[in-house]
Amino acid sequence: MDEMNDTMRSGRFKEAVCIDAQRVYDSCSAKDCLEDLQVCFTQAKRPVIERAVSVRLRDVEVLTVYLNMEPVPFNKGFYSIDMTFVFDVSLDVYTAPASCPIVVDGIALFTKKAILYGSDGNVKVFTSDGSCDPTESGSGSRVTPKAVCQVAQPVGLSARICDTRPGCCPSFKIPDDICERFGGDFDFECSRSVYVTIGLFSIVQIVRNVQMLIPAYDFCVPTKECTPVSDNPCEMFKRIDFPTDSFFPPKVSDAGGCGCGCSQSQESAE
């Protein structure tokens, strides 16, 4: 605190202010290679898969991540985070050799667990906006940590189709919002299955609302004036820079390279 007061007197910032913010108490990163995830399809798309002779992984993205956090028994301050990743898998499906592919979308799921430290608190927060626990009249919301999962764009590595292995059909219930997105219920009664391998990068955090003292320099007063935007398409086109690089591609020297035949020793000699 004394160091902060000395910094204030030196003029480097204006004042120390107290803010309520989400502090990260613990976090971990993961690089997972998810091998042979089974892809689920709706009943309308299942006939195409049954006729398929080969598949190619076109694209994959994370639709959502379901998080469930519970305190770890006999380990105060630690929480177990169960995560279910839902992937939207886009496939090129070939029903005959040398035929044009049919684009089919399905979902794949992956679950994992992490244990992180989230500290321990036993207070309730009451606010003037009336937000409270609806199960108890007059009670405020209890302060608990929150789990956060950040996911990078997944990498689609491979896809294959084969006869369904006995006992491999998933037993989980696909959420209704996912079924609505794909246009119907998912069908698990099948003789052919698609398996994909996906590379996944993720960061899991436990955050908690805390009050922190931080230096403040000044208010965030905008320095740029909002300019009106014209709906005239020609006016919008005039603001686009001429694509010079498209007409005159850069030479290898402009890109910082030295060509295919240039070795490291030649570069050093130059």
Out of 112-116, 120-124, 208-212, which region has the weakest mean confidence (pLDDT)?
120-124
C-beta of residue 194 within 8 angstroms of C-beta of residue 160: yes
Q: Using alpha carbons only, give the angle 158, 164, 166 rounded to the nearest 5 degrees.
A: 130
Q: How, if at all, do strands 192-216 and 15-39 pair? A: antiparallel
Instruction: Residue 32: name the closest of 155, 170, 168 by CA.
Output: 155
In the beta sheet, which residues pair with residue 74?
Answer: none
pLDDT score at 134: 47
More confident residue, 252 or 102: 102
Task: Assign 245 a pLDDT band (cuts: 50, 70, 90).
Answer: confident
| Digit-coded pLDDT (tens) for 35-60 | 989 898 888 888 888 888 899 999 99
Dihedral, 102, 103, 104, 110 alpha carbons, nearest 10? 130
Distance CA(50)–CA(66), nearest Å, equals: 30
